Amino acid sequence: MLHVFPSFGYGGQQARFAVTAGGMGGAFSHHVTALDGDFTARSLVPYHAPVRYWKFPARKSAFISLANVIRYRKLLKDTKPDILCTYNWGSIEASIANRLGPRLPHLHFEDGFGPGESVREQKERRVIARRLLLRGAMVVVPSHELEAAAKDIWKLDASRVLRIENGVDYARFQTKSSRLGHRITIGAVGALRPEKNFTRLVNAFVKADQARKAALTIYGAGPERTHLRDSIESSGARDRISLPGPTRAPEEAYNEFDVFAISSDTEQAPLVLMEAMASGLPVVATNVGDIAKMVSEENRAFITPLGDEDAFVDALAHLMQDQDAREKIGAANSRKARDEFNAATMIERHRKLYLELARRHG
């Protein structure tokens, strides 16, 4: 299998690949390439997973690069895969190369949008390109919102659009230890990209923590790190806000938190949300994608309208101050994660899909 990622830096898409590649064993081998040359998420992939990494000298372009298409054709010849897997808009040129030959079974994973786009605000030329180039592919999405977009906006055949919910290893995140007497900590984990809008979280934290007794920790790496660091420096709370960088052990990061926060402008079905819920954390988040559906009923009052910054601040402040609410909501989230976000189910659905496509090629 050839997997074409826009980036293989730390992120939910890459973490899901690591789980599925590790869980499916040696019956599947994987070639992975990243357009930006970032392979830092390879540290998430289990050592026993049969994965090989390929450098790809991609050219940046405003839309589609013919040079990239030619390079993809060579990569397809070199790797000789049975299945082509592409990820998000950034990999769309690989689908063009495949349509020109060898016409492999094509599996496209769409997990969301970058800055400036959302389900409701998509670039027209990208909509048209997806409609044309993904017509013969199986398209996998993690959320109800993206499933609707693929069918209703991109006009893809409903029989070729498949929603597979993400999943987590629930037992892995059962590491909560006693935090009595500690400073209340708001936490976040994610790629430091513009659409994650961690500056919103920094600003909201400062306003919510009027007593100046809490802490904020944001784990992650990405192009927004310098900008985010500047925002922290000018926030007046730099002694209480930390950016430790990415983590290979998210279960340990969640164990440091009392409240998990998502401040994104766009999301779909975040893997980090599932991990935080499995860890027994209450969540404050912007109401984007499937987030409100994913959290427990007890938590929904703390999922705030996108753009209502005061509501986001109030939700943070409430959970900072109310230990009983944190415990009640966290327990409800943990139960829902155990019952609904199962990594074994996710892995098995991917396995069946891969085998079905491989049989078509064979």
Domain ranges of the chain: 2-167+343-361, 170-340
Q: Which two tokens stand for residue 43?
A: 């540290």
CB within 8 A of 151, min separation 6: which ones? 158, 161
pTM reported for the whole predicted model? 0.89
In CATH terms, the fold of domain 2-167+343-361 is Rossmann fold (3.40.50)
Cα angle 20-23-29, degrees, rounded to a multiple of 5: 75
CB within 8 A of 179, min separation 6: which ones? 258
How many CB atoms lie under 10 A from the CB of residue 65? 16
CB within 8 A of 71, min separation 6: which ones? 56, 57, 58
Cα angle 185-189-193, degrees, rounded to a multiple of 5: 125
According to DSSP, the β-strands at 84-87 and 106-109 are: parallel
Dihedral (CA of 304, 309, 312, 314) sign: negative
CATH H-level, domain 170-340: superfamily: Glycogen Phosphorylase B; (3.40.50.2000)
Note if the bond before 105 is cis, omega within 30 degrees.
no
pLDDT tens, per residue, the chain with 362 residues: 999 999 999 888 999 999 999 999 888 999 999 999 999 999 999 999 999 999 987 777 767 888 899 999 999 999 999 999 999 998 999 999 999 988 999 999 999 888 777 788 888 999 999 999 999 999 999 999 999 999 999 999 999 999 999 999 999 998 766 666 689 999 999 999 999 999 999 999 999 999 999 999 999 999 999 999 999 999 999 999 999 999 988 999 999 999 999 999 999 999 999 999 999 999 999 999 999 999 999 999 999 999 999 999 999 999 999 999 999 999 999 999 999 999 999 999 999 999 999 887 65
Q: What are the pLDDT digits (tens) for 151-185?
A: 999 999 999 999 999 999 999 998 766 666 689 99
Common-topology check for domains 2-167+343-361 and 170-340: yes
Q: What are the pLDDT digits (tens) for 294-332?
A: 999 999 999 999 999 999 999 999 999 999 999 999 999
The SS3 call for residue 325 is helix
